[in-house]
């Protein structure tokens, strides 16, 4: 067998192995804007952090299932964005009760500053993008309930949630997001 044939076989075997590893791994699309080599907040660290809790694993599953793209913006935000840690954009294909496909979560890494905080924001914004509520039910966007649920899911990634924390979160959201529609 010639070297050319051996090399072709080697490449095909390794391509298939790589594809199998990708299938096993959660296939989430992460795009970066303005990143530099050696940064602490990167794809591998975020996936590793998301796998540490049930909420994180569920978020990875939702990102893959609904093909939501995660964009990590490393550039320094300007204007009103300088206070925003992340934002969600709904996908194009939505029925009345759920997202079918698409959507985008953008995280301003400059404002999150750590892998844990970036992961919490990915969980939070993914919850908004998909409209994923308690028990998998759909949550209407721009409601107090959806904001509370997104905040509680992000907090549950770090530690279990107590009733006092739930009450505190509801009060905090009602004070700061007064323009959102009511609890329903």
Structure tokens at 70: 């995660």
Q: Which domains does the chain have, with CATH numbers?
A: 27-176 (3.40.390)
Phi-psi region of 79 (alpha: psi -120 to 50; beta: other; left: phi over 0): left
132 DSSP 8-state letter: B
pTM score, two decimals?
Answer: 0.77
Taking the C-alpha atoms of residue 56 and residue 48, their distance in angstroms, rounded to an integer, is: 9
Is 58 in contact with 50 (CB distance < 8 Å)? Answer: no
Is 64 in contact with 28 (CB distance < 8 Å)? Answer: yes
Other beta carbons within 10 angstroms of residue 151's beta carbon come to: 21
Phi, psi for 88 (deg, rounded to 5):
-115, 145
| Residue where the block lists tokens 């540490």 | 52
Quick check: 15 pLDDT over 60? no
pLDDT tens digits, one per residue of 83-123: 788 888 766 555 545 555 667 888 888 888 899 999 999 99
Which regions of the chain does DSSP assign to beta strands (E)?
Answer: 29-33, 69-73, 86-89, 93-94, 99-101, 104-108
Residue 135 burial by Cβ neighbours in a 10 Å radius (0-12, 13-18, 19+): exposed
pLDDT tens digits, one per residue of 116-149: 999 999 999 888 888 777 777 777 777 888 899 9
């Amino acid at each position: 067998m010639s070297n050319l044939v051996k090399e072709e076989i080697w490449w095909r075997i390794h391509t298939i192995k790589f594809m199998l590893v990708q299938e096993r791994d959660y296939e989430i699309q992460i795009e970066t804007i303005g990143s530099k080599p050696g940064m602490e907040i990167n794809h591998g660290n975020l996936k590793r952090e998301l796998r540490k809790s049930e909420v994180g694993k569920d978020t990875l599953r939702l990102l893959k299932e609904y093909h939501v793209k995660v964009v990590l913006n490393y550039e320094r935000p300007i204007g009103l964005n300088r206070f925003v840690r992340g934002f969600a954009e709904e996908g194009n294909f939505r029925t009345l009760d759920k997202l079918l496909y698409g959507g985008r979560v953008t995280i301003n890494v400059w404002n999150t500053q750590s892998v844990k905080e970036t992961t919490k924001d990915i969980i939070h914004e993914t919850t908004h993008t998909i409209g994923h509520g308690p028990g998998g039910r759909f949550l209407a966007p721009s409601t107090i309930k959806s904001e509370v649920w997104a905040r509680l899911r992000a907090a549950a990634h770090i530690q279990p949630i107590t009733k006092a924390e739930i009450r505190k979160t509801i009060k905090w959201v009602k004070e700061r997001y007064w323009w959102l529609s009511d609890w329903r």
